[in-house]
Structure 1
Amino acid sequence: MNEPPESRLYVWTELHAMAMLTGGMAVAGGLPGASCYVPAAVSFILLAYVFRNAWSPGGRFGAANAITAFRFLLVGGLLLDGTVPADWQALAATLILLLDGLDGWIARRLGLASRFGATFDMEVDAFFTLALCVALYGSGRFGVWILLPGALRYLFVLFTRLARPPLRRERSNRWSRAIGAIVLSGLTVALLPIGTWAVAIAAVVTCAVIGSFAASVWQLYHP
Structure 2
Amino acid sequence: MTISIATMTAREGRGPIVGLAAQLVLMTALAATTGLSAAGWLAGTAYAVVLTVVLGAGLRRSGMRALGPANAVTLGRATLVGGVTALVVTSFTAPVPLPVLVTLVAVALALDGVDGQVARRTHSTTKLGARFDMEVDAFLILVLSVFVAGAFGWWTIAMGAFRYVFVAASWAWPWLNQPLPPKFSRKVVAAVQGVVLVVATASLLPDAVAFAVVAAALAALTWSFGRDVRWLWAAERRQRLADARARVAARRVVVLPAPRLRPQPAPVNA
| Bin of the TM-score, shorter chain as denominator length | 0.7 to 0.9
Query: 1:54 & 1:166 partners in 2: Cα distance?
Result: 23
Q: Structure 2-normalised TM-score?
A: 0.63
Aligned twin of 2:52: 45
RMSD across aligned positions (CA): 2.5
Out of 54, 59, 71, the position equivalent to 2:77 is: 71
**Percent pairwise identity:** 32
Q: 1:112 aligns with which of 124, 130, 152?
A: 124
Aligned 8 A contact 1:94 1:188 in 2: yes
Letter in 2 for 1:72: A
State the match for 2:98 in structure 1. 86
Please state whether the residue corresponding to 1:61 is helix, strand or coil.
coil
Cα distance in structure 1, aligned partners of 2:48 and 2:182:
25
Aligned: 1:125 with 2:137 = yes
TM-score where L is the length of structure 1: 0.75
Match for 1:51: what amino acid? G
1:73 partner letter: T
The answer on whether the counterparts of 2:159 and 2:218 sit within 8 Å (CA) in structure 1 is yes
Is residue 2:210 matched to residue 1:198?
A: yes
Q: Read off the aligned partner of 2:70 and give its amino acid letter.
A: A
Q: Secondary structure at the match of 1:201?
A: helix
Name the aligned partner's letter for residue 153 of structure 1: R
Closer/same/farther in 2, CA of residues 156 and 166 from structure 1, 3 Å limit: closer
Within-5 A mapping of 1:1-223: 37-53=44-60, 59-79=65-85, 80=87, 81=91, 82-137=94-149, 140-165=150-175, 167-193=177-203, 194=205, 195-223=207-235
Specify whether residues 90 and 201 from structure 1 end up closer, same or farther in structure 2 by C-alpha distance, changes over 3 A only: farther
- Greater Cα radius of gyration, structure 1 or 2: 2
* Cα distance between partner residues in 2 of 1:75 and 1:44: 11
Question: What stretches of structure 1 of length at least 5 have no aligned partner?
Answer: 1-30
Q: Matches of 1:203 and 1:46 in 2, distance apart?
A: 36
* Equivalent position of 1:4 in the other structure: none
Distance 2:116 2:56 in 1: 21
The 2-side partners of 1:43 and 1:115 are apart by 20
Inter-partner Cα distance in structure 2 for 1:173 and 1:190: 26
Evaluate the alpha carbon distance shift between residue 151 and residue 121 of structure 1 in structure 2; reply closer, same or farther with a 3 A threshold: same
Q: Paired residue for 1:9?
A: none
For 2:152, what is the secondary structure of its paired residue?
coil
Deviation, structure 1 residue 90? 2.3
Tell me, in whole angstroms, the C-alpha distance in 2 between the residues paired with 1:63 and 1:191: 31
In structure 2, what residue type is equivalent to 1:41? A
Partners of 1:217 and 1:40 in 2: CA distance: 30
Structure 2 Cα separation of the partners of residues 68 and 128 of structure 1: 12
